[in-house]
Amino acid sequence: MENFRFLDFSELSETVSEVSEDDSIFDSDVETSDDEKFAGIPLWQTAFNIAKTIIGEGLLSLPAGLAAGTGIYSGVIIALVFYVVMTYTFWTLGRLCETTGEKTHRGMGDKVTEGVFFGNVMAVTNLAQTLSCCVAYALVIGRNAEDVLAPFVSNSWLSSRRGSWVTILIFVLLPLCLLRDLSKLAWASLLGLLCEVGVVCFMIWRFMDGSYSPGGRFYESQTAGLQVAWDETGDPETWSLSPATLTLVCSMSSAFLAHYNAPKFYHQLRDRDSRRFLLATTASFTLALVPLRVEYV
């Protein structure tokens, strides 16, 4: 409970001064928190990086869970439950890093139990999860990159789904994967968040103008089974639940997921301790929750 006693969200106001006092955040030759000279990433940048890790294909796939027979209010309640659970567990991983002094899930697993079995289980679980995320992002990137590149290189291998995916992989994702200092992604994370908000706003606009409601000009173009569920009065359903709600629950399991990077985010946080990490965690997960709830409502 001591970790909660002195919480002061005014610490978030430190951001401007931290950036101005240390211009080396983006230009430093130090690339990893393993270096003794690593100054650490300001709290606000850590929050943006975590939020962008959370917001991705998981957010944009959630409407399919609602359209499959789940009311809007029911979906919001499910989202809030996952928000609380995932925020707490993410912060708990940071507390474990502080307590054990370890920087990996395997190391923490070895410290909290006797032997190496639990550490190996955590390592394998992380590997399986990140591979699954890679597959999900590959599907999203390949499908969207195909549409983006088609007008420039039509009727070629580069405009195919596989070709566009390979292009993005080599020229965008590979350089990003080689970065060891996540502070360099702070502004890109902010841009990515704004893009996600733009997508959500466009979806709301289309909902408000009735384009996807029964009789709307785009209603017939929707994939069967993924239309918004409408009640007898012509309004979206609110409290309904169905077996298809499990689709939403499964999507939620990845919508707030960034736990595989929790140790790295904790150890790269400037002046790190569990209290500051709680501030960064709460800010980032709340930031991720806002477009999700707006998208629902």
Per-residue pLDDT at 169: 84
Is 3:235 a contact under the CB 8 Å cutoff? no
Q: How do the pLDDT tens digits run along the chain, 297 residues long?
A: 444 444 444 444 443 334 334 433 333 333 455 555 667 889 988 998 898 788 766 666 677 667 667 777 888 888 899 999 999 999 999 999 999 999 999 999 998 888 889 999 999 998 998 888 888 777 778 777 887 777 777 777 777 778 888 888 888 888 887 877 766 676 777 787 788 778 778 878 887 887 877 778 887 777 666 666 666 665 667 787 888 788 888 888 778 888 999 999 999 999 899 999 999 999 999 988 876 665 555
Per-residue pLDDT at 17: 39
Tokens of 288: 């991720």
Is 94:83 a contact under the CB 8 Å cutoff? no
Size of the chain in residues: 297
Which residue is associated with the tokens 């709301």? 204
Strand-pairing partners, residue 230, are 236
Rg of the chain's alpha carbons, rounded to an integer? 21
C-alpha–C-alpha distance, residues 49 and 140, integer Å: 20
- Residue type at position 38: F
Is 259:56 a contact under the CB 8 Å cutoff? no
CA proximity to 140, closest of 156, 164, 157, 158 = 164
The pTM for the full model equals 0.70
Q: What share of the chain is helix, strand, coil (3-state, %, to 5)?
A: 70, 0, 30
Is 82:288 a contact under the CB 8 Å cutoff? no
Per-residue pLDDT at 9: 40
C-alpha–C-alpha distance, residues 151 and 184, integer Å: 31
> Which residues are CB-contacts of 203 (< 8 A; sequence separation ≥ 6)?
63, 295
> Which residues are CB-contacts of 173 (< 8 A; sequence separation ≥ 6)?
none
Instruction: Give the CA dihedral 115, 118, 124, 126, nearest 10 degrees.
Output: -130
